[in-house]
Structure 1
Amino acid sequence: PLKLNCELCSIVSSSGQMLGQAAGAQIDRSPCIWRMNNAPTRGFENDVGRRTTLRVVSHTSVPLLLQKPQHFFGQGNDTVYVVWGPLRNMRKDGKGIVYNMLRQASENYPHARIYVTTEDRMNYCDMVFKKETGKDR
């Protein structure tokens, strides 16, 4: 299980709405900074900051991360990755294509901290999303 102790978090979306906001310094002052998918920070530091504590990644973004594995998973990167996706892609029985990619990445980059969500947690998050938005994901 992943345990983080954050008194204050900045959650930074991958939206272009961050551009021009000059919020980077304020974001970087947060003890924990969560980012979504493979949204870049390099070149956008003034708007989105430099630091990343945790990156929540959709199963569809994993191949994009693996195009630059040293950047995302290399020893100098201490970001925690939490990957979510449907069970068919995240199965641990050898048939989950994304899970297999992540397992290979963790073998190639043993310092990487990669976590996957459980099916129960996915169902819970889907329920909360639907309750709060009235929409299915």
Structure 2
Amino acid sequence: SSSGQMLGREAGAEIDQSSCIWRMNNAPTRGFERDVGRRTDLRVVSHTSVPLLIQKPQHFFGQGNETIYVVWGPLRNMRQDGKGIVYNMLRQAVENYPHARIYVTTEDRMNYCDTVFKKETGKDR
């Protein structure tokens, strides 16, 4: 949780022993290692949080960072024809940090996730 629920729990060492550590968006670890651990294996990122990652590219994509990034968002932002503003930001990040492991969801996968979300919550995303 990046909502502050982990503060003071001192669960970092236990979290770091997990086989796979997921984090969301730009949830911080630096400065909070005692509470949330140091490792991040997979980071799921909303299209709205990509600019926050891009503000600190060395931190998120720099040498030695082995995190896998999975970015999702609507087609209008993720389109790959030069008009997807978020996709373009990610493309630039990959050019600047070629070792970064950044993946984007497909339109079909986004539609599937939207369907599951609506089925489980009764609400449109």
**TM bin (shorter chain):** over 0.9
1:127 maps to which residue? 115
- How many residues are matched? 125
Runs of 4+ in 1 over 4 A off after TM superposition: none
Matched, 1:114 2:114: no
Amino acid paired to 1:81: Y
- RMSD, matched Cα: 1.1
Q: 1:41–1:122: structure 2 CA closer, same or farther, 3 Å change rule?
A: same
1:64 maps to which residue? 52
Q: Given the two structures, how large is their TM-score scaled by the length of structure 1?
A: 0.86
2:91 to 103, 106, 114: 103
Displacement of 1:126 in angstroms is 1.6
- Residue by residue over 1:14-71, the C-alpha shift from the partner in whole angstroms, topping out at 9 and shown as x without a partner, is 2221222222111111111010000100111121111000100111111111111111
Structure 1 stretches lacking a partner, 5+ long = 1-12
Q: Given the two structures, how large is their TM-score scaled by the length of structure 2?
A: 0.94
Looking at structure 1, the residues matched to 104 and 13 of structure 2 have their Cα atoms a distance apart, in angstroms, of: 30
User: Which one is further off, 98-107 or 41-50?
Assistant: 41-50
1:54 maps to which residue? 42
Q: 1:22–1:134: structure 2 CA closer, same or farther, 3 Å change rule?
A: farther
Structure 2 stretches lacking a partner, 5+ long = none
Looking at structure 2, the residues matched to 103 and 74 of structure 1 have their Cα atoms a distance apart, in angstroms, of: 15
